[in-house]
Every structure is written in C-alpha cells, then in structure tokens.
Structure 1
Amino acid sequence: MSSVNLAEAALAVQHDIHTALGLDLTLQTVLGDPIRAYDHRPTDPAYPYLTYGSIRSEDSSGDAAPQSTHQITLHLWSRYEGRSEVLDLLRRVSDTICDALPQAVVPLYLDVLRAPDGRTFHGLLRLSVTTTEPSQEETTP
C-alpha cells in the first residue's frame, strides 16, 4: 500500500472546491464576487453565505495507486423566507463541484434546518472526494 500525505491532499481538495465555486457565474450572482465563502462565520455576515465545515481524510490506496478519500461538509446560511434559496444553492454548489473537480466527487447527503435564531435556514452538504496521486512510475522521467 502506498502512503499519501493526507494534509496536502485535503488542502488541495479544499482549494479546488473554493476555486470552482468562485468561478461559477450563477453562484457569484447570489454569493457575491468574490463569493462569500469562509472558514469561520463573519461577525456581521451578508446573507446568503457559505462556510467550510469539517473535513475528514483517509488513505484509501490500493497496491498500485496512491489515493485518498475526503469527506467535506459545506454549510449554507440564508435568511430567505423559506427553504427554497438554501435548497437551490445546495443543488448549485453540488453540481458545480461535481462538474468542475477533476477528482471523483459523490454527494453523500444534504440537510436543511432552521437555525436556533428562528429566522436563518442552515443547509448542509456532505461530499466525498477521492483523489488519485500519480504513481512513481508516472512521475519519473
């Protein structure tokens, strides 16, 4: 089994996701340009916005191919009256990531709930992203 640098692979996945979301013109009309996507919730955010949640990474290499699998959770926050904006954004974010990333992306689940303040809707999207590292034979001249 081949060893993978999980931190490096996870950082690359997060970078690829952020880049893909930032280049989507439809998302820019709703989440701004540059898009409102944060590691931490801002003090006084403009709605809607996205935050990056947990990322879990594991080495899923086989005998011949180093690979890693990452489960990442994205959070969408909206103050639109109803769930429709969050559901539409979750769909758009999922489609954008699945279409743009060179890695294998599988949406695992989504959830929409009302936040404790009673007026904000909170959407969660969990994705599984599998990356394959080039083998030593492929990188050796």
Structure 2
Amino acid sequence: MNISEELQRYLYAKLRTVPEVLTLAGGRVYDRVPDNATFPYVSFGPSDIVDDGAECIEAETHTIQLDVWSRAVGKGECKNITDGVKKALIRDTPALSDNAIVEMTVPYCQVVTDPDGLTSHGIIQVEIKVEIA
C-alpha cells in the first residue's frame, strides 16, 4: 500500500471515532460523496505531496484537505464538527505499517458559506510529515 493510501485509511478510521462526527454528522465520512448525501458529512478534498527529504533521510510532507458540509441554519454545526476533527487529529499519534510519521499538524481551519448561500463549508488542512522506510 502506498503512503497516501495508508494515510487516507488512517484518517478515515480516525474520523469515524470523532464524537462530533458521530453525533452531529451520523458518522458520515466519504471519499466520493454519494448523490443526495444526507447533511452534515465529512469528505476528503484535494491532497498533495512535497519531497521533504535531506541527504540522509527520505521524507515527504503530505497535505490533505478534509471538508465538512452542513446545511443547518447558521455556521454552528459546521464549526463544532470542524473543531472536533481538529482537536482529535492534533491529539493523536498515528502509526503506519512501513513508514514513520514524524509530525502531524492541523495548521489551517476555516468555515465559509458556499456560493449556494445555504451550505456551510468547513475546511481542515492536515499536514503529515513521513519518513520513508
């Protein structure tokens, strides 16, 4: 399994244990959002990989965006889910099967109103530095 897939599997499993995702979003976490999905839910957004190695260490930084989607009136529900996800991730120390996570941070979170005027959109940026075996 490649590192990106392993990180996504970790994040998917972790998200399904976050109390706010379980209670407010009904545990709904998607890689590909189904048609007519029930709100609120969390989905995987874009991701990228940057070479972060040095002379003696092969390493990468994976940036993964998680998106929270809510149609509740106001932004409160979206903010609660976004904050719950952030807190759960910064308190966790995941282990990979072949490679080693050096550091995991959540440097950026934002909640905005989507152009439809109805949907609150939480954006969570997760950065994971991995030492490659």
User: In 2, are the aligned partners of 1:72 and 1:128 still within 8 Å (CA)?
Assistant: yes
1:17 to 11, 16, 22: 11
Look up the match of 1:116: 115
The change in CA–CA distance for 1:101 and 1:13 in structure 2 (over 3 A counts) is farther
Aligned partners of 2:6 and 2:128: how far apart in 1? 11
2:32 to 31, 40, 54: 40
Look up the match of 2:23: 29
When the two structures are superposed, what TM-score results if normalisation uses the length of structure 1?
Answer: 0.79
Q: Structure 1 unaligned runs (5+)?
A: 1-6, 135-141
- Deviating above 4 A after TM superposition, structure 1's stretches of 4 or more consecutive aligned residues are none
State the superposition RMSD in angstroms: 1.8
When the two structures are superposed, what TM-score results if normalisation uses the length of structure 2?
Answer: 0.84
Q: Structure 2 unaligned runs (5+)?
A: 95-100
Higher helix share: 1
Question: Which runs of structure 2 are paired with 1:87-98 in the superposition (5 Å)?
Answer: 87-98=79-90
SS in 2 for 1:18: helix
Question: Which runs of structure 2 are paired with 1:45-64 in the superposition (5 Å)?
Answer: 45-64=37-56
In our comparison, the structure showing a higher alpha carbon Rg is: 1
Query: Which residue identity is paired with 1:132?
Result: E
**Count of paired positions:** 126
- Percent identity, please: 25
Query: Which residue identity is paired with 1:17?
Result: L
Shift of 1:26: 4.2
